Amino acid sequence: MSDIHGNFLKFKEMIKKINLKPNDTLYVLGDFIDRGSDSINLLIYIMNEPNIKVILGNHEDLMIETLRGDSSSKDVWFNVGGFETYKSYNKLTKELKRAVFNYLCFLPLFIIKDNFILTHSGLNLPKYIRNKNLTEIIEFQDRQDFIWSGYNFYQNPAIDTFTVIFGHTPTYNIDSRNSKNNKMFIWHDDIYKDKICLDCGEGFENGRLACLCLDTMKEFYI
């Protein structure tokens, strides 16, 4: 799943709905904090669950840079819903603050699982890069490409033999047809067949949380 945005209640409902077991692995594709009211409790829960693997999102990156003392990141972070997260973080003990910060700092930018590439926002794939091998494509990316990619990624071909699964951009903003009765659905690229977006707008009005089973491609919504 992706873009939980601090909604611990919906997250717990989703865990029950998908019947997550200890031998399952849940991948969270970033932006699990901010906008919602329970970001820090959600973060602490996730960081203590060994079968939940998290990828860095732009919201987590803004939190890291803010805690490192970057004032420009702090301004951006607070503007996109980070203030409540920041207040909750500051109520933690010194030891727990350190544990949370260290956890965030070591989040990966991507995970390769079978023929899936999991990342927060996509990849930077200009034409001269797309036909390179996977190692070269990954080495071409910088930190910002993994957490801020957008229109140029999802409107163009991605990588042969791989499907890139990402969040960051609500699916309605990728394709306005991807909404029915004010509810967004997981977006499958029906043109290039190489991309799937899981961000169904949780954290925004009329948004919801989505989850995709990589084994069966079954979709779940809360």
| pLDDT confidence of residue 182 | 83
- Residues 29-49 as b or e (16 or more Cβ within 10 Å = b): bbbbbbbbebbbebbbbbbee
pLDDT tens digits along 8-20: 999 999 999 999 9
What does residue 127 show for φ and ψ, rounded to 5 degrees?
-55, -40
pLDDT band at 181 (very low <50, low <70, confident <90, very high): confident
Tell me the average pLDDT across 138-153. Answer: 96
Specify the pTM. 0.95
Burial of 87 (0-12, 13-18, 19+ CB in 10 A): exposed
The fold adopted by the segment(s) 8-221 is Purple Acid Phosphatase; chain A, domain 2 (3.60.21)
Domain ranges for the chain, please list them.
8-221
Q: One-letter amino acid identity for 165?
A: I
Residue 176 has pLDDT above 90, yes or no: no
What whole-number distance in Å separates Cα of residue 108 and Cα of residue 119? 9
Q: How does pLDDT run across 95-145, given as a tens digit for each residue?
A: 999 999 999 999 999 999 999 999 999 999 999 999 899 999 999 999 999
186-189's contacts with Cβ under 8 Å and 24+ in sequence apart are: 186/210, 186/212, 186/219, 189/154
